[in-house]
Chains A and B, each alone.
Chain A
């Protein structure tokens, strides 16, 4: 069953704590993306990667970090430097990463700061 999986579905973070959100895809896609969605808002790009071991900052990268050690995986770390991390985080992938392509989204992770 092909697709994108994200875990956990819900995540609670304490103040000053780093947390890592998982994103895995078995679509054999080269490109992967992380978006943040705030309640009632659109999608804002955090980071994206078009190839293994390479990634670029999106529009709101401050306070976040990523890695792309494997084609299938693109984990996102929300660091303590991100002052307002409560949001819905969506991971997406596309075949080769050109802007002409459809993006396929995972089910998302809801992060809440306690």
Chain B
């Protein structure tokens, strides 16, 4: 079945620094979604990418969908303590209407 992998599993970042987290699918995706889960909270939708090579920005967050539509990245600039949480990517299965979630990247920010 489809697999969605995220690296790194953990990311310790100094406040003010930039970092990137990556999402890789075993199959070509029609779209990819990103969610953020704060500690003790529930996942909240951030963004959806649909087109090959698409880049979208949300303030300090930049999301990119790979040309082959099998990978995606999230880049955060000038990390703040509010960025703490787990970032999940999710891709739809080719057949059916289910999303497969990656294992997430847990981001810890050092002040």
Q: Name A residues whose Cβ lies closer than 8 Å to a Cβ of B.
A: 31, 35, 40-45, 48, 50, 58, 90, 97-100, 102-108
Q: Which residues of B contact A105 (CB under 8 A)?
A: 42-44
- In the bound assembly, the distance between CA atoms of A58 and B101 in angstroms comes to 13
Question: Do A106 and B97 have beta carbons less than 8 Å apart?
Answer: no
- In the bound assembly, the distance between CA atoms of A45 and B101 in angstroms comes to 9
Q: Which residue of the partner chain, among B43, B99, B104, contacts A90 with CB atoms under 8 Å?
A: B43
- In the bound assembly, the distance between CA atoms of A103 and B35 in angstroms comes to 9
Question: Do A43 and B88 have beta carbons less than 8 Å apart?
Answer: yes
Question: Do A42 and B102 have beta carbons less than 8 Å apart?
Answer: yes
Nearest B-chain residue to A105, judged by Cβ: B42
Q: Name B residues whose Cβ lies closer than 8 Å to a Cβ of A.
A: 30-31, 33, 41-45, 48, 88, 92-93, 96-99, 101-104, 106
Chain A contact residues, majority secondary structure: loop
B61 to A: closest C-beta gap in Å: 17
- In the bound assembly, the distance between CA atoms of A100 and B97 in angstroms comes to 8
B109 to A: closest C-beta gap in Å: 18
Question: Do B102 and A48 have beta carbons less than 8 Å apart?
Answer: no
Q: Which residue of the partner chain, among A42, A90, A99, A107, contacts B97 with CB atoms under 8 Å?
A: A99
Q: Which residues of B contact A90 (CB under 8 A)?
A: 42-43
